[in-house]
Each structure stands twice: as C-alpha cells, then as structure tokens.
C-alpha cells in the first residue's frame, strides 16, 4: 500500500476510486472484496532468437473477472509494462464493459518490450511465440479470453495472433473470433481502428447536450469553438482531434506528444500535423509553430476541454492545482491519479471518467466479435430490403405531392446503411445511453458527487447482481 514516502500504485489508485462507489451503495465488504480481486494472472518468460542472440521476453495476461465470458482486454507492448499495471487495466476493463453494457469480463495483457527496437520479422516472431504461450495456458480462446490491440500493438499483431491460434486449433470454426481489432480482410470490422477516438467524440457531444451540466462548470453554448488541448497523438488522440475539429468545429489549440508539443491559439490543422508527424517522427519543425520540449506543462494551458489520451498518471498532485480546463475527458486509462482526482473535484473541474470515455474500442470490438461468431457481415440480410423500402417511400412522396424531392432528401431516403454506418450508429447509441445512465445516478444519489463515482456505482451494481444471480455469494 501507498505511504507518505511511496506513491500510490496504479492498481491502488483504481481500487480507491472504486471504494468510493462501494461506500455510496453500502455494498457488503466481503462482496466488495470479491468483486475487486483479480481472478488470475499469468506471467510468462520465453526465449526468442534475435540477431543471433537469445532474448528472454517477459509478459503477462491478467483476468480480473469472469462474471461474463469471454473476458476482454487489449495487449500492449511497452518498456514500462508491469504486473501491477496489467492488473489495474484488467480491472478497468471489467468496470468499463459493465458501464456500457458490453457482456464481457475484464482482462489485459502485455509484453515488457520496446517495439521500436525490433524489425517487422522480429515482432512477428515475438508475437507468435507469446500467442503460443497464451493458448497453451488457456488465456486465449474465442469463448473465454479475447485480446485486442493496445499501446504498441495494432491490426498487424492481431492478424499474427489469429493465424497462430488457427494453426494450433485447426478444428475451431470460430477461430477468427479469438482476437478483435484485426484487419478487415482477416475478419475485422470497419470502424474499429478509430473506435476509441470516435467514442471520445460521442462522449463529449453527449455531455454538451445536457445544458445544466455545461452551465455547472461555467461554460456556455454548445461544443463548437471550444478550446481543446489533447495529450497524446497516437491512434486515440489523433482520431479524437480529427473528428472534433472537422465535425464539431472545436479549436484544437495544443497537441502534446511524447517528444514535445505545439500550440496554435487559432486551432491546429490536425490532418496536416498528423501526416507531418508520421513522416518525420516528431512534431518539431511543423510550419512556423514553436516546438515546446517540456510538453507536459501544456496540460496546464488555459482551455475549455482537456483530453489526456496518452499514459496513466499524467495528472497528479504536483500539477493538478494548475489545471485550468473546466472539463477533462479521460481518453487514456488512468491519466488522473486518485490524489489529483480529489484536487480537481474540489476545484470544480468536471471529469468524464476513463472507464466510460474510452469504451469505444471495446464496444466496437464487441460488434466485431459478434460478427465473427455469427459468421455473417452486418446488413447482409436486410440491406437491400431497406434500400428498396426507401425507394418506395420516395416514389410515394413524389406521387402524393406531384413534385420532385430535393436531391439531398431523396439520397437520404434511398441510400442503405453500410457496415460502417451501422457500427457508428451502435457506438453512438451505446455512448449516449451510458452517459444518460451516469447522469441519472449522479443526480439521484446524494453520496455520488462526481461522474467517476457514478460510473463505478453503475458497474458495481451490475456486477454484484450478476454474482448474486449465479450464487457466488
């Protein structure tokens, strides 16, 4: 446990935040302990031959709760991975799935490596060997434990894992559902890559539909022209910035990357900046913008909305007092420590919690898993039927009015929904419905004074009911 001389671990920080919700609903201590405990943790150490030398790679896969199956959670490759982090992230996955009504338990995995130090072929060798370890020990299966991409991994690694699982289980007709986040050509689903960033956008959009909450934090009007700072310019940060700036007319005034930051009070050109970063591996030198090496200091920039989309623990007791944003949307996992959360709450800062805000990835992973298990793409049965029905409606309106319809209206009536449309619709509905449930708890319980506690109240209530139904206690 944390003391005055040692900082609180990531896992302890998560547990302390959950404890507030447990106290609010007066859950029995023994039941609370059962829900918070991590069911199992696998640690593996396996040798891989790299450049003629044997390297021993260390990895983990934690299963927090099997109250729903399969358990779900990403696999990250990073030089900072450790067991405490993996257990904390597995717990967050359990709560996250419950909050947005995805019927999965929580899991997480990782390898203690720096992906930048290895070639593509070496990464494939490492990934396939890790997959072998997970499958052999029962920690990867389409029915029980389904990984997805996370920091340092992506579609490429998921394709390697699927192929490895298939060769180890040639008779499993559901093999393609053993992971999500795959390339579309290998069983993936359109919209998964940008799902977490899109979910961040939907979460913020829904917040601004509730005018009393907007007024509570001292903001006025809608989302348009709000000044936003984003930390992290990877998959999540980039897509959140892109969608918010292009579709909601917000001003992204600062982007903070691992190497530094750039600022433009008039709003940054996100797509151009992203392409520049991919080409040059840095934000430095873009246009005439000043590059700030101490990028983390820009978390304290005066803005309306702050979106931390990088690593955990970025806002702590050292800088929380200097945060000027009125709304923080946690796109990363655990970017605010427990101590900082208390400070920000006292300052009147509204926090949209990570267990809700970044749930877009697992929601669309759920859609992908369903698609794989059902062995049919979304829309195949009804797509043309819907298109024909729209054409009949268009023709009926023309006949009744004896006039042609505006081109835009006719296109909306006669255009069928493709898979991307259906994925986005399902994601938006999930994010909006979950926020409305958060708000209802926030407004109705005197013991709940922030949206994070409201989110955990929802999760703990759902999980405890499941445990009671199946007779765990």
Catalytic (active-site) positions: 108
Q: How far apart are CA 318 and CA 278, in angstroms?
A: 32
* CB 68 within 8 Å of CB 104: yes
> DSSP 3-state assignment of 106?
strand
Q: Residues with Cβ < 8 Å from 242, sequence gap 6 or more?
A: 197, 270, 271, 274
Which position has the token pair 């003629």?
Answer: 52
**Are residues 230 and 309 in contact, defined by beta-carbon separation less than 8 angstroms?**
yes
Identify the H or E element spanning 255.
strand 251-257
109 with 73: CB under 8 angstroms?
Answer: yes
Contacts of 200 (CB under 8 A, 6+ apart): 236, 239, 240, 307, 309, 329, 331, 357, 358, 360
Q: Which of 69, 68, 116, 74 is closest to 92 using CA atoms? A: 74
Residue (of 115, 127, 193, 191) closest to 162 by Cα position: 127
């Amino acid at each position: 446990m944390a003391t005055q001389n040692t900082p609180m671990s990531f896992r302890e920080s998560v547990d302390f935040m959950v404890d507030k919700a447990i106290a609010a609903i007066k859950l029995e201590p023994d039941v609370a302990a059962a829900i918070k405990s991590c069911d199992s943790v696998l640690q593996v150490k396996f040798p891989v031959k790299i450049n003629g030398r044997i390297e021993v790679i260390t990895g983990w896969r934690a299963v927090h709760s099997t109250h729903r199956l399969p358990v779900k959670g990403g696999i990250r490759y990073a030089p900072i991975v450790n067991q405490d982090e993996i257990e904390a992230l597995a717990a967050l996955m359990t709560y996250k799935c419950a909050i947005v009504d995805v019927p999965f338990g929580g899991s997480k995995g990782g390898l203690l490596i720096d992906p930048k130090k290895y070639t593509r072929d070496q990464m494939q060798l490492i990934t396939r060997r890790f997959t072998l370890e997970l499958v052999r020990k029962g920690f990867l299966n389409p029915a029980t434990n389904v990984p997805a991409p996370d920091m340092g991994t992506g579609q490429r690694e998921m394709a390697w894992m699927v192929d490895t699982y298939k060769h180890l289980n040639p008779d499993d007709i559901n093999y393609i559902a053993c992971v999500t986040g795959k390339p579309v050509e290998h069983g993936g689903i359109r919209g998964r890559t940008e799902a977490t960033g899109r979910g961040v956008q939907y979460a913020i959009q829904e917040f601004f539909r509730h005018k009393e909450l907007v007024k509570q934090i001292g903001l006025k009007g809608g989302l348009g022209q709000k000044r936003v700072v984003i930390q992290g310019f990877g998959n999540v940060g980039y897509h959140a910035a892109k969608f918010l700036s292009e579709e909601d007319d917000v001003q992204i005034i600062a982007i903070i990357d691992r190497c530094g930051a750039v600022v433009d009070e008039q709003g940054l050109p996100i797509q151009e900046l992203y392409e520049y970063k991919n080409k040059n591996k840095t934000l430095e030198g873009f246009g005439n913008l000043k590059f700030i090496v101490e990028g983390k200091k820009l978390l304290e920039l005066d803005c309306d909305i702050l979106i931390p989309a990088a690593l955990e623990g970025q806002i702590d007791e050292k800088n929380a007092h200097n945060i000027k944003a009125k709304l923080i949307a946690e796109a990363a996992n655990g970017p605010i420590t427990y101590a900082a959360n208390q400070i920000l709450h006292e300052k009147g800062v509204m926090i949209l919690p990570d267990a809700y805000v970044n749930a877009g990835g697992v929601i669309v992973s759920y859609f992908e898993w369903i698609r794989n298990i059902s062995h049919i793409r979304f829309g195949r049965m009804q797509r043309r039927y819907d298109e024909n029905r729209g054409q009949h409606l268009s023709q009926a309106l023309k006949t009744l009015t004896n006039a042609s319809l505006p081109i835009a209206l006719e296109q909306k009536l006669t255009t069928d929904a493709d898979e991307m449309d259906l994925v986005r619709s399902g994601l938006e509905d999930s994010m909006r419905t979950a926020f409305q449930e958060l708000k209802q708890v926030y407004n109705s319980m005197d013991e709940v004074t922030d949206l994070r506690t409201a989110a955990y109240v929802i999760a703990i209530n759902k999980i405890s009911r499941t445990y009671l139904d199946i007779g765990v206690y």
